[in-house]
Chain A
Amino acid sequence: MRYLESLNLALDQIMSDNQNAVIIGEDIKDPYGGAFKVTKGLSSKYGHRVISSPISESSIVGLGIGLSLNGFKPIVEIMFGDFITLCADQIINGASKFPWMYGSNFDLPMIIRTPMGGRRGYGPTHSQTLESLFFNIPNIKIISPSIFHDPGQILKDTFYKMKELNLFIENKISYPNEIILKEQVDDYNISIINNNTEFVTLSLVFDRQTRPDIVLLTYGGMSNICFEVARDLFIEEEIIIEIIIPSLVKPVPFSDFHESIISCGKLVIVEEGISICGWGSMITSNLNDELFDSLKAKPVIVGSKEFPIASSRKLEDKILPQKSDIKKAILKIL
């Protein structure tokens, strides 16, 4: 099953099982079914609960907040993740603050789904990875499944667990990819390594008995690229890599990969966003004493360079993190 289908089926099930579920987004009605077709077929089935809105990103997020405050469970689609900038006030000065700032315990269940990421030549305003803008905003959860997760299941988990605003980040190059629902892929074992955390964190490792040389921590659309790197380096250099892929991006589920870091001591973090003040920085600056003391080398963060993302695919590749960048980082820390 493809990443896209998995999400579409999950939305269908959510809508059919929950009369208070609402989907709002631009151009999401059939026959078009959304810019990336994630909502295809839903408006035909669920009528007024699927709102195809004007091009008003800020307002549709606000509309969702109001519906949530008044008993509904909205899922708002922002067509391109880059447009999340237009919703910043509603997210930061609205949804994320309401229950706490009003001194109340009410829930504000809501999902904003949006595709982030480049590698399709969409250029500077349609290719970014901007979830890091919300890393230091309290009371927002950021969730992003990879192709190794069951993205539809993660979306359903998000819907059923949500008590506050959730940003659900879909990497747009993952949409056509087949998802990996097996426990093994190319001799790599995939296992869930959650430790009292809510959203699935996966570990991909060649052989559970052998201690890895490196822990590679990544999420979303970088996960398959990291997997290719791990495979290559095993064949070329016999380097053993454990890839850890949380689906929960923020707050960082440290306890899930605590054991792996402690037993390995070498950490490379890979993200598609600009590496300065990004996910890697958030993780490395928040390692607890035990984790910090276990490190045998300074962790390396691989991410985008500090440029807007170019439209030319060739130039874009020079800006976004590539397999070669990840390999270089791993060889440096070994």
Chain B
Amino acid sequence: MKLLDTLYYKILLIRKFEELLFSLFEKGKLSGTTHTYIGQEATGVSLIENLGPNDIVISNHRCHGHYLSKTGDVVGLLSEILGKKNGVCKGRGGSQHLYSKGFYSNGVQGNMFPVSAGIALAEKWKNSSNLTVIFIGDGTLGEGIIYETLNMISLYKIPILIVVENNQYAQSTPIKDNFAGKIIDRLAGFSIRVEENETTDAEFLYHRYKKLIKSIKLLNEPRIDIIHNERLGPHSKGDDERSSEILNKIKEKDPITVLKKKIDLITQEKIEKEISILLSKALDKVNKMENSFNLY
């Protein structure tokens, strides 16, 4: 597949996967909660597309997109979220607590930040060329442990790529109401190189991350990368208080809309159909899974 087709495929897969989750919620077939990546997919997809199988990705509560980008494991994730014992975490972790080789996520804000630093430090001590990437959100910047850990990452020159996905909201609170100052100013105080971009353009991001990752691996040093975009979906589900006017504005920057302009219609349709079949097959398979648990 050509690069743009691949990016489109992966972004659309995440989008359709999460739309499927919403529809399952509405039908009462899904319990618990879920935090979707809708509108932000370009960042995770284009970064992780640049990683090798031994690179490590650490995510957060909003992790489906990162997980699917890293593993492509639709059935494992869907069965996990639907509470099946064949889920990737045996139905124990659910939407927010995922693990697969080289992938970790956890549901508490900032909880994985020092853990990712430890994972990356271990890679450094092993002289490996594997990169550790941690994704956090703007809301997570309210947690004190972020600043404790940034200090140590800088002091010990831990090679790690920290991606701050600023989707403008901490749960339902807009950033202007919960964040003093500018993100880049706050993060610039640790003597770690930091850059920021406002974009949902997967092609641009892909080439940018290719360069950035090469540079981190060469210099063996930490980097912070801030991506400003806007969450198109609700925080979790049914908690979106934004007006349709605001949502329509965000939709113009939808990474899918942006990418569609660069891909011919026939290819688009082909990919859409492929994903639709893939997801309906996956759902069938998951629905048929036998589901009895043993605690011991």
Q: Interface on A for B, CB 8 Å cutoff?
A: 48, 51, 53-54, 56, 58-72, 74, 89-90, 93-94, 97-98, 100-104
Bound-state Cα–Cα, A69 to B145, Å:
19
Q: Interface on B for A, CB 8 Å cutoff?
A: 87-93, 97-99, 104, 106-108, 111-123, 125-126, 144-145, 148-149, 151-152, 155-156
What are 24 A-B pairs at a CB distance below 8 A?
A: A54-B155, A58-B144, A59-B149, A59-B151, A62-B117, A63-B114, A66-B115, A66-B117, A66-B121, A67-B121, A67-B122, A69-B122, A89-B108, A90-B111, A90-B114, A93-B107, A97-B97, A98-B104, A102-B97, A102-B98, A102-B99, A102-B104, A103-B88, A103-B92
Bound-state Cα–Cα, A53 to B155, Å:
9
Contacts of A93 in B (CB 8 A): 106-108, 111
Nearest Cβ on chain B to A102's Cβ, whole angstroms: 3
B115 touches A71 (CB 8 A): no
Interface centre among A58, A71, A98 (most CB of B within 10 A): A58
Checking B88, B111, B122, B152 against A70 with a beta-carbon cut-off of 8 angstroms, the contacting residue is B122
A66 touches B99 (CB 8 A): no
A102-B115 contact, Cβ under 8 Å, with A62-B145, A72-B125: no
Bound-state Cα–Cα, A48 to B124, Å:
12
B122 touches A62 (CB 8 A): no
Contacts of B114 in A (CB 8 A): 58-63, 65-66, 90
B119 touches A56 (CB 8 A): no
Q: Which residue of B lies closest to A61 (CB)?
A: B114
A66-B89 contact, Cβ under 8 Å, with A102-B97, A102-B99: no
Contacts of B113 in A (CB 8 A): 59, 62
Task: Give the A-B pair count, Cβ closer than 8 A.
Answer: 114
A66-B111 contact, Cβ under 8 Å, with A53-B152, A102-B97: no
Contacts of A61 in B (CB 8 A): 114
Contacts of A58 in B (CB 8 A): 114, 144-145, 148
Q: Which residue of A lies closest to B103 (CB)?
A: A102
A65 touches B92 (CB 8 A): no
Nearest Cβ on chain B to A72's Cβ, whole angstroms: 6
Given contacts A56-B149, A62-B115, A98-B99, 20 further A-B pairs with CB under 8 A are A56-B151, A59-B114, A59-B148, A59-B152, A62-B149, A66-B115, A66-B116, A66-B120, A66-B122, A67-B118, A67-B121, A68-B118, A69-B115, A70-B119, A70-B122, A74-B118, A90-B111, A93-B107, A94-B108, A94-B112
A94 touches B149 (CB 8 A): no
Bound-state Cα–Cα, A101 to B107, Å:
11
Contacts of B88 in A (CB 8 A): 103
B118 touches A70 (CB 8 A): yes
Checking B93, B115, B125 against A103 with a beta-carbon cut-off of 8 angstroms, the contacting residue is B93
Interface centre among A48, A58, A68, A102 (most CB of B within 10 A): A102
Nearest Cβ on chain B to A99's Cβ, whole angstroms: 9
